[in-house]
A and B are shown apart, each in its own frame.
Chain A
Amino acid sequence: QKEVEQDPGPLSVPEGAIVSLNCTYSNSAFQYFMWYRQYSRKGPELLMYTYSSGNKEDGRFTAQVDKSSKYISLFIRDSQPSDSATYLCAMGKGAGSYQLTFGKGTKLSVIP
């Protein structure tokens, strides 16, 4: 079983839809969780960062972590065409990003 599993999609939704992106993991040592967004032919950029189980909200984005189930989610409300990108989950075991493990990424298209 891979340490981090992420459905690569692609996922296509109409504008205004609620989007749910998910990752599962197998290693209990992961302590913090991130979502990166990557536009086509660009480098990834940090979207959300959380340490603990529960929800963290930032505008239209909500990151959810369930450590007991080893499952994280990113919800996008009122999705916009500008949200079309690849979303990568990342998980860290400790200080220093050299310990980050990335998911394969889910490609999202929001259709006007």
Chain B
Amino acid sequence: NAGVTQTPKFRILKIGQSMTLQCAQDMNHNYMYWYRQDPGMGLKLIYYSVGAGITDKGEVPNGYNVSRSTTEDFPLRLELAAPSQTSVYFCASEGGGELFFGEGSRLTVL
């Protein structure tokens, strides 16, 4: 079992560029989440999904978009990257009340 897989692990973007962070899970979980983690700031929820075709905003959704066409995949799209989006991004799926996290994607916007 791979669990939750995130790609890429590292990425440097220039201001104004766009990119997609990929997330896939093989546990057949309906609920999936995207968080960002800034130093000393804990985890902030960006978007979440309760199943294929259903997504909703979290605490900090501005500058991001998501889609959920399958149970397995939950990509996060960054449009017009800004330095404020420099962070570590974690994807998670939920099973039995427990969050299972990927290893994170470190994004730097210069």
Q: Which residues of A contact B58 (CB under 8 A)?
A: 98
CB distance from B50 to the nearest CB of A (A): 8
Question: Which residues does B use to contact A, with CB under 8 Å?
Answer: 4, 31, 33, 40-43, 45, 48, 50, 56, 58, 90, 92, 94, 97-99, 101-104
CB-defined interface of A25-69 with B at 8 Å, one 1/0 digit per residue? 000000010001000011111100100000000000000000000
CB distance from A56 to the nearest CB of B (A): 14
**Other-chain contact of B43, A32, A42, A45, A88 (Cβ < 8 Å):** A88
A32 to B98, CA, bound (A): 12
Is A1 at the interface (CB under 8 A from chain B)?
Answer: no
Contacting pair B99 A44 (CB below 8 A): yes
A102 to B43, CA, bound (A): 6
CB distance from B103 to the nearest CB of A (A): 5
A49 to B84, CA, bound (A): 33
Q: List 24 A-B contacts (CB under 8 A).
A: A6-B42, A32-B97, A42-B103, A42-B104, A43-B4, A43-B90, A43-B101, A43-B103, A43-B104, A44-B43, A44-B101, A49-B98, A88-B42, A88-B43, A96-B31, A96-B94, A97-B33, A97-B97, A97-B99, A98-B45, A98-B56, A100-B45, A104-B41, A105-B42
Contacting pair B94 A97 (CB below 8 A): yes
